[in-house]
Amino acid sequence: MTDSSELQGEITALCCLVVALASTLPLSSQLRLWPAFERIANPLRDHLGGDELRGFERATASLSSKRPSRPMETTGKGFLS
């Protein structure tokens, strides 16, 4: 029988795999990945119960904290200007 700690470890490993896979994508694809995830995840959330939804949201928050941000705009000035 699998306990919740073991399941949490498995989910964490899967999250690491997803982040590793996403990090190999070109930046333009990485920036489109999260909106695509949300389009798929939003209808799914409606079908999850309390504990399942909490787990889903916890994993989603963990993954979203690792997503790339948009590149900073440069001003064309040198570093010490």
The domain segmentation of the chain, as residue ranges, is 28-66
Residue 67, pLDDT score:
64
pLDDT confidence tier of residue 71, bands split at 50, 70 and 90: very low
- Concatenated DSSP letters for 59-73? HHHHHHTTSPPPPPP
- Whole-number Å distance between alpha carbons of 81 and 76: 10
pLDDT in tens, 17-61: 888 888 899 999 988 988 998 899 989 888 888 888 888 888 888
